Amino acid sequence: MGSTRERIAVDAMGGDHAPGEIVAGAVRAAEELDVEVLLVGDPEQIQVQLDLHGHSKNLEIVEAEDAIAMDEEATGVRRKPKASINVAMDLVKQNRADAVISAGHSGAVMAAALLRLGRIKGIDRPAIGAVFPTLLAGKSVIILDVGANVDCRPKYLEQFALMGTIYSKYVMGVENPQIGLLNIGEESCKGNDLALKTYELLTKNPAIPFIGNAEGRDVLSGRFDVIVCDGFVGNVLLKFAEAIGGVLLQTMREELPQGLNGQLAMGLLKPNLKRLKQRIDHAEYGGALLFGVDGVCIIGHGSSQAPSVFNAIRLAKEAISNDVSERIRDYYSKGVKAGQTL
Cα dist from 70 to 18, 189, 238, 269, 323, whole Å? 11, 42, 19, 38, 31
Q: 1-123+292-321: what CATH class? A: alpha beta
Peptide bond into 145 cis (omega under 30): yes
User: Up-side HSE of residue 279: CA atoms within 13 Å toward CB?
Assistant: 17
Q: Would you state the pLDDT for residue 154? A: 97
Distance CA 126, CA 291 (A): 5
Peptide bond into 19 cis (omega under 30): yes
Secondary structure letter of residue 189 according to DSSP = T
Q: Which residues, in sequence order, are CB contacts of 101 under 8 Å at separation 6+?
A: 8, 9, 10, 11, 88, 287, 297, 298, 300, 309, 312, 313, 316
Distance CA 93, CA 96 (A): 8
The pLDDT tens digits along the chain (342 residues) read 445 789 999 999 999 999 999 999 999 999 999 999 999 999 999 999 999 988 678 999 999 999 998 888 888 899 999 999 999 999 999 999 999 999 998 899 999 999 999 999 999 999 999 988 888 878 889 999 999 999 999 999 999 999 999 999 998 889 999 999 999 999 999 999 999 999 999 999 999 999 999 999 999 899 999 999 999 999 999 888 877 777 776 776 676 666 666 666 666 666 665 655 555 555 456 689 999 999 999 999 888 889 999 999 999 999 999 999 999 998 888 755 545 566
Q: What is the pTM of this model?
A: 0.86
Question: What CATH number belongs to 127-284?
Answer: 3.40.718.10
Q: Which residues, in sequence order, are CB contacts of 15 under 8 Å at separation 6+?
A: 21, 22, 70, 102, 103, 104, 300, 302, 303, 304
Distance CA 84, CA 88 (A): 6
Distance CA 60, CA 40 (A): 9
Domain assignments of the chain as residue spans, ordered by start = 1-123+292-321, 127-284
